[in-house]
Amino acid sequence: MTGIAPVGKTLRPLLLALLIAGCASASSYRPAETTTIRDFPKSSAYRKQVGVLALSNFTPFSDAQAVAPFLTGFESGLQAAVADAVLLGADHSQAAPFLSNPPRLAGGDVDGFMLAEMARQTGMNAVVSPAVVDIRVHSRDKGFWFLKDVAHSLKIQAAATTYDAITGSRWALGLLADEVAIDEYQAEILRSGRVIELDDFDGVLEKMGRRLGKEMGDAITAAKWHASVTAIEDGACVIRFGSEAGIANGDRFSVLDGSGVLTGLDGRRYIVPGPKIGQIRIIAVTPHQARGVPDDGDIPPVGSILIPEG
């Protein structure tokens, strides 16, 4: 009597054959390959240029009390993490006006989409926005029964955001909280709005700033270098980066479509990098600007995204 083979052993070769045939059939319907921003390796050939917004102080403390030590630490941490980048601060004599007065949404948040557009026109890869969010007295009960007492502290919250100058999206968002112990007398003075010297206050703020600066710098270092076509002049694409950023005659850039815009549920807008539409070759360079032309085909439109080749 002939035995019946297990179903798995009988079907396995057939299923394998169908799987292989299916894969072969599907491949004939696969769309043509396109190159997107994900397909380009990170390039270290060019220096990033980073705008730093004026520090926002949302606390009742004056800028001299809260901003100065935090900003000292923030700039130190940022510069250490992006040693090769050019930092363009709001306090520079030729700083772009938007670094001191960035565009904001109706709710008061920075408008990343408009900020990115302004940054591209000024020749920036990214923009960093530091902020001291809150400083307030906090009191809590401690101990129990007849040993019960009240402990006071000054709670500090700080934040920083790095915006991509191409898409308007966030490369990084950092939030930090810390506190400084104070006594009851100091708590009362601070609650009344009067100025008081605290031994650890400046040190804590500077430390928080340095840590957030490093976080933003690490995100900038990890990101790809890219630029965009900001104008068309005399048949050439104008780029707001030049020899200071490391661009030289003969350099080549792939061109990606930059016309796509995504609107989020909260109304925020972002540029969506599209597929590769061509390439350009640099033919003229100044310290802060370069011009490029395509080897063949049409000149890419304003807003096209440029990615280093090689």
- Predicted TM-score (pTM) of the model is 0.83
Which CA distances in Å does 249 have to 57, 125, 212, 228, 252?
Answer: 44, 20, 37, 17, 9
Q: What is the DSSP track for 240-309? A: S--GGGT--TT-EEEEE---EEEE-TTS-EEEE---EEEEEEEEEEETTEEEEEESSSPPPPTT-EEEE-
- Cβ(255)–Cβ(304) below 8 Å: yes
Pairing between β-strand 252-256 and β-strand 276-286 as defined by DSSP bridges: antiparallel
What is the CATH architecture of 49-222? 2-Layer Sandwich (3.30)
Largest CA distance in the chain: 102
Distance CA 251, CA 244 (A): 14
Alpha-carbon gap, residue 156 to 134, rounded angstroms:
6
| pLDDT given at position 95 | 83
The predicted pLDDT at position 267 comes to 87
Residues 6+ away with beta carbon under 8 Å from 248: 282, 285
Place of tokens 């396995």: 12
Contact present, 129 and 176 (Cβ < 8 Å): no
Beta bridge partners, 130, equal 160
Q: Give Cβ neighbours of residue 133 (< 8 Å, ≥ 6 apart).
A: 58, 59, 157, 158, 159
Q: Where in the chain is the domain with CATH 3.30.160?
A: 49-222
Is domain 226-308 in CATH 2.40.10.410, yes or no? yes
Q: What is the pLDDT of residue 160?
A: 98
DSSP 8-state symbol, 147 = G
Helix residue ranges, H only, the chain:
7-27, 63-81, 112-122, 184-191, 201-222
For residue 61, the model assigns a pLDDT of: 80
Between β-strands 126-142 and 149-164, what pairing exists: parallel, antiparallel or unpaired? antiparallel
Which regions of the chain are under pLDDT 70? 1-33, 93, 143-148, 310
Range(s) of the chain covered by CATH 2.40.10.410: 226-308
